[in-house]
Amino acid sequence: MDLDALAGCLSSSACLVTQTTSGLIIGMLLFLVAVGLTLIFGVLKVVNFSHGAFYMFGAYFAMTAYQLTGSFALAMLAGAAGTAILGLIFERVFMSRVYGADVLMQLLVCYAFVLIFDDVVRIIWGPEFRSMGMPAAFQVMPLFIAGGVVPPYYLLLIGVALIAAIVLGIGLTRSRIGKVIRAAAHNPGMVSALGINTGLIYGGVFALGGMLAGLAGALAAPVRSLTPGMGFSVLIESFIVTVIGGMGSILGALIGALLLGLIRSFGSLGFPLFTEGLMYLFMVIVLVSKPTGLFGKEAA
C-alpha cells in the first residue's frame, strides 16, 4: 500500500489528468465490450460467454484490413462490420436454437464456441502473437494538458466509445427500432403477435453486441498484442462491469466500466499489489449492498 503516492497524485494536476485519462481509456474500451454483453442479456436473456471472441475477431479483422489497405478507417470498419455479420450468423444458426433452454446448455454452446473460435483464429492467423502497429497519423508526441500526458490516439478512442454510448442510449430510448427492441425484451410474445419478426430483432441485437465488441477489439488492435484467446481476460472484466452496473443496463455498463477504469488507474498508485483485488472488492461491495447492480432492475 502506497497511500503517499496516491495522495501526492490527487494533489497534482499533472498526475490527476494523466491517471484520469488513463482510467477513461481502460473504462471506455471495457464499456464497448460490456455494453454488448449487457444488451444481449437484456433482450435475449442469454449470458453470452463467447462474447470475448467477438472482441478477438474485431482485432484480427482490423489488423488484416489494415495490412491489406493501409487505411485505419477501413480497419475499424472491417472490425465492426465483420463481427456484426459473424454475430448475426452465430445467433441465427446456433444461439437461436438454445433460447429457452437450460442455462447449462446455453453455457455449453457458448463455451464450445469459445474453443472453436480460438482454434479458427489459430488456423487462419497462426498461434503466435501479432501486432497491428500504430497508424502513422497517430505516431505523434502526446498532448500535455495541465502537465498531464494524453496520447492523441486515446482521445480518439474515448471519443468513438462516447459516440457509441450516446447513439446507443438515444437509439434505444427514442427511435422506433429501439422501442421495438425494448418491447421484445419485455414481452416477445406480444411483439411477435403484432407482426414483428422477433427473430430478426434477436439477430440484430446479437449482431449489434458483436459489432460493439468487435469495434473495441479493432480500437485496441494498435496498442495490444493479438493472440488466439485474447478475448478471455476482457470477458472476465466485462462480466465484472455488468455485475457492478446491473445486467441489462446500458447506463450501468458505462458507469461500471468507468469506475473500474478509474479504480485500476488510481489503484495502481495507492495499492500496487492489490489493484486487481480492488476491482473484485468493489464488485463484492456493490453486490452486497445492491444485488442487482448499481442500475439493475429488480426481477418482477
Partner 1 sequence: MTRTRTPGISRRSTLALMGAGAMTFAAPWVARAQAKTIKIGMPTILSGRVAQLGTSSRNAVMLEVEKVNAAGGLAGRQIEMVIRDSKGQPQEAARVARELVNTDGCELMIDAEASSGAFAVHEVARDLGVFCIHTNSETSALTADPKQRIPNAFRTARQGVHDSIVGGSYAAAIAKAKGLKKWATCSPDYAYGRDTTGEFTLYLKRFAPDVEIISESWPKLFQPDYTEVVTKILQAKPQALYSCLWGGDLTSYIDQANIYAMFGQMEVFAVNMADYTALTVVKNLPKGIHSGNRYIKSFPATPENAAWGDAYKAKYNEYPTNWSWENATAIMLMAEAAKKANSADGKKIAEVLKGLTIKCPFGADGTVTMRGDDHTLVGYAIGWGTTIPQEPYVPEIKAGDWKTIFELEAEWKKSKGYT
The three grid cell numbers given for residue 59, joined into one nine-digit string: 482485432
Which of 57, 165, 264, 283 touches partner 1 (CB under 8 A)?
264
Q: What gap in Å lies between CA 200 and CA 207, rounded to an integer?
A: 10
CB of 95 to partner 1, least distance (A): 26
Closest by alpha carbon to 165, among 215, 226, 109?
215
Three-point CA angle 292, 233, 20, nearest 5°: 75
The helix (run of H) or strand (run of E) holding residue 251 is helix 250-270
Contact between 51 and 238 (Cβ < 8 Å): yes
- How many residues lie near partner 1 (CB under 8 A)? 46
* 229 forms part of the interface with partner 1 (CB under 8 A): yes
Contact between 184 and 52 (Cβ < 8 Å): no
CB of 158 to partner 1, least distance (A): 12
Residue number with CB closer to partner 1 (89 or 149): 149
- Compose the 272-291 pattern: x for residues touching partner 1 by CB under 8 A, - for all others: xx-xx---------------
3-state secondary structure of 264: helix
Stretch that binds partner 1, among 160-168, 204-212, 260-268, 289-297 (CB under 8 A): 260-268
Write out the residues near partner 1 by the rule CB under 8 A: 5, 9, 15, 18-19, 22-23, 25-26, 29, 122, 127-134, 138-139, 141-142, 149, 151, 153-154, 220, 222-225, 227, 229-230, 233-234, 264-265, 267-269, 272-273, 275-276
